Amino acid sequence: MSHFLARAGFAATLAVLPSLSFAGGMAVVDFQQALNDVNEGKIVQARLEGMYTEKKKSIDQMEKQLMAMQQEYEQQALVMTPDALKAKEREIMQAQMVYQQEVQKAEMEFQAQYNQEMETLLGKMAEICEAMGKEKGYDMVIERNAGVVYTSAPDITGDLVVRYNAKYQ
């Protein structure tokens, strides 16, 4: 409940922002767009896609092996002894557990890598935005997708991309 009240208070504050007068004004920035446009963002995206593709290949191979085991079991079930059936079922169940663990592990590793990369990129962008805000005398720089649309505020996303690429070649 308190989380909801905090968000409502934040939303109310943001709703009043357009009517406030700032001596230096404010600007907006679209970090998502900047992440897509900066050179390092494109490199990170390619690296993450490569990581995903490699993990998916490995997971797909495990899935094929599991399906082959299941198919073999179904084909031979009528001629197998009860003990052999139980052994094969245990083998398949074990393989399914390993498969599920590997899927979960791959997802966690990918998410951790993604979070680390985004934290690094956004940290660098925040530094540049802060410097740009000070240089241009803005009192506030707001993320465009924060829920506030203040259309008369200058959008500094393009400048951010240019400065980021220049600083982090």
Provide the token pair at 101: 């663990």
CB 28 within 8 A of CB 154: yes
pLDDT at 26: 86
137 conformational bin, left if phi > 0, alpha if psi -120 to 50, beta if neither:
left
Q: Where are the beta strands (DSSP E) in the chain?
A: 26-29, 140-143
pLDDT above 80 (res 126): yes
pLDDT digits (tens, 9 = 90+) for 63-120: 999 999 999 999 998 999 999 999 999 999 999 999 999 999 999 999 999 999 999 9
Token pair belonging to 51: 């990581």
pLDDT of residue 148: 62
The domain made up of 24-167 is a member of CATH 3.30.910.20:
yes
Domain ranges of the chain: 24-167
